[in-house]
Amino acid sequence: MSYRKAQEALEETLGVRISHETIRQYAIQTGEHLGKWDGPTGLDDKGDKKVPLLVIEVDGALVSEQRRRKERKKRKKRKKGKEKFELKIAVVYEGWEINEYTGEAHLKNPLYFVHGGSGKEFWAALERHLRRIYDLEGCQRVIVGGDGAGWIREGA
């Protein structure tokens, strides 16, 4: 979604008036903040939570790059098709809980993790992040599930 479309969506759904440039600046600031958190910190290997079951489901999502119109026109002349990159995504949870009133199953303590780097970088960042919360060696069973893509098999 472009910043202008995000601006329109915010105005239509929430009645919030914010410029597309302000949205862009917030996105840049958020990315910089997340980039700092993604690296090693003093919290590494401090996780002490031990659970009987830890499930890690991973997959990739192809996302089209958004470029300025001039850049898109230049690229179209050189190469047909859109430039895409893959976001690596993980959903981590501690099993399932049954709602006693509805009987529906829900993920127990879900954690969502998204990374834009290579598969190797994804697994390193995910492990670093999980070790800030969990004592992975103390978890009784860790299950990793995915669609069998090469980067998933290599990391699992």
Same domain, 24 and 76: no
| Same domain, residue pair 34 and 1 | yes
User: Whole-model pTM above 0.75?
Assistant: no
**What pLDDT is recorded for position 8?**
86
Q: Over the stretch 70-93, which tens digit does the pLDDT of each residue have? A: 665 666 665 555 678 889 999 999
Q: How far apart are CA 73 and CA 138, in angstroms?
A: 54
DSSP for 79-144, please give it: --S--EEEEEEEEEES-EEE-TTT--EEESS-EEEEE-S-HHHHHHHHHHHHHTTB-GGG-SEEEE
What is the average per-residue pLDDT within 11-32? 83
pLDDT at position 17 is 85
The confidence score (pLDDT) of residue 68 equals 66
| Amino acid of residue 43 | L
My answer on whether 5 and 58 are in the same domain is no
Please write the tens of the pLDDT for every residue from 23-51. 888 888 877 776 666 666 666 677 889 99
**32 and 50 share a domain?**
no
What residue numbers bound the domain in which 129 lies? Answer: 43-155
CB 94 within 8 A of CB 51: yes
**Residues 92 and 110 reside in one and the same domain:** yes
Total domains, the chain: 2
Q: What single letter denotes the amino acid at residue 119?
A: G
Tell me: do 60 and 135 sit in the same domain.
Answer: yes
